[in-house]
Amino acid sequence: MSYQPGRQFLNIPGPTNIPERVLRAIAAPVLDHRGPEFAQLATEVLARIKPIFKTTQPVLIFPASGTGAWESALVNTLSPGDTVLGFDSGQFALLWTQMAKKLGLQVQTIATDWRRAPDPVAIEAALAEDREKKIKAVLLVHNETANGCMMRVAEIRQAIDRVGHPALLLVDTISSLGSADFRMDEWGVDVSIGGSQKGLMLPAGLAFCAVSPKAVAASKHAKLPRAFWDWEPLVANTGGNFPYTPACNLFFGLREALNLIDAEGLENVFARHARHAEATRRAIRGWGLEIVCAEPKDYSRSITAAFMPEGYSADGFRKLVLERFNMPLGGGLGRLSDKAFRIGHLGDTNDLMLGGALFGVEMGLGAAKIPHKAGGVQEALNYLADQSGGAARLAAE
């Protein structure tokens, strides 16, 4: 491969760009993971991660990618043959239900056309019909990274409460944590699942399960086999006492990432993501392309997917953009494969980085001779210019 000068624009919806300060924090000499210095670091990080989930409950950290936290949430709270309510509403929601089946759970599925988040009314109806209370858990994906639709967790919680259903509420926040508002305690979430390589601006390698008292109580009776993913030693762990070697250097990185989030202010981080999501949608409409998420109320804050015009390959387009402009874009996943491309706008990014990414897409559309209108970038730039300094206004919305 020849040298490609300049920076690569990494505009996939995770893994995301890692701030230099975080990279430098990770590049620290290895610590004794049983020594006092790591215990102090772990204690600090375990406490400071809680506000990111808006919880006061324990947050358990595994050395794994987010998929591990999916498994951990299931095996600690459920027993063989239990029924869970899952969603065929996008590739990640679907993959989680497939994992549940592999683990010996029965899955009842609510499907969408993959262009909207599941309707809280449909969830309420499914739970109301379950008079025997067979459904033990509901598996939400807060932000469906495959199509850019967000589930309205607070409304779903209200729906569950209206029918008085006791199911646990498990929520994958992997691509929304640190990018879009998520309120574990206020929304009555029982397990919040996170990963390090998206909004938290770290490499992959830390998986999070924030656990409610109800989830911990369920774990005392749950009978799915578990060993590595067992919560028990971690719930008791308030400091550095992990039952295996933790990913110590990623803890240095997490501490620095939390410093950056604190310095910007969590609500300002959310407002920045909201602005970038809106600017991206304006660009896509400006090009005359169609946004995959069909419902404005479901729009994601961290990723936007766009359809290619009929008869044009999204993967061919992405290949051209990568080769010509050194910019990876997200591909369509599952049934959106080759039909859509995804722009990630989460993590350590700013107006000019987003502008550069949109510039690359517009040039790519031209270079690939894909029917489109010129000027999408200009729509985005007009919006960003007009809103600069308006972060507080958006955060208040």
Q: Which residues bind ligand PLP (CB under 6 A)?
A: 14, 65-67, 92, 141, 143, 145, 172, 174-175, 195, 204
Expressed in percent and rounded to 5, the helix, strand and coil fractions of the chain are 45, 15, 40
CA distance 131 to 163: 10
Q: Please choose, from the candidates 259, 276, 215, 251, the residue with its C-alpha nearest in 3D space to the C-alpha of residue 57.
A: 215
Dihedral (Cα; 43, 44, 45, 48), 10-degree rounding: 120
CA distance 82 to 75: 11
Instruction: Return the number of other C-beta atoms located less than 10 Å from residue 262's C-beta.
Output: 13
Q: How far is the CB of 364 from ligand PLP (least distance, A)?
A: 24
Q: How far is the CB of 66 from ligand PLP (least distance, A)?
A: 3
Q: Please choose, from the candidates 90, 84, 130, the residue with its C-alpha nearest in 3D space to the C-alpha of residue 109.
A: 84
Q: Please choose, from the candidates 154, 188, 144, the residue with its C-alpha nearest in 3D space to the C-alpha of residue 301.
A: 144
Q: How far is the CB of 5 from ligand PLP (least distance, A)?
A: 30
Q: How far is the CB of 46 from ligand PLP (least distance, A)?
A: 20
∠ CA 42-46-49, nearest 5°, is 130
Question: Residue type for 158, please?
Answer: Q
Q: How far is the CB of 163 from ligand PLP (least distance, A)?
A: 26
Q: Which is nearer to ligand PLP, 270 or 359 (CB)?
A: 270
Q: Closest residue to ligand PLP, Cβ-based?
A: 66
Residue 239 tokens read as 């400091």
Residue 255 tokens read as 């501490």
**Residue whose tokens read 């359809």:** 307
Q: How far is the CB of 378 from ligand PLP (least distance, A)?
A: 30
CA distance 134 to 166: 10
Q: Which is nearer to ligand PLP, 172 or 362 (CB)?
A: 172
Question: Residue type for 246, please?
Answer: P
Q: How far is the CB of 366 from ligand PLP (least distance, A)?
A: 30
Residue 38 tokens read as 């790591």
Alpha helices in the chain (DSSP H): 20-26, 36-48, 50-53, 66-77, 91-102, 120-129, 153-162, 213-221, 232-235, 248-264, 266-286, 314-325, 351-367, 376-387, 391-396
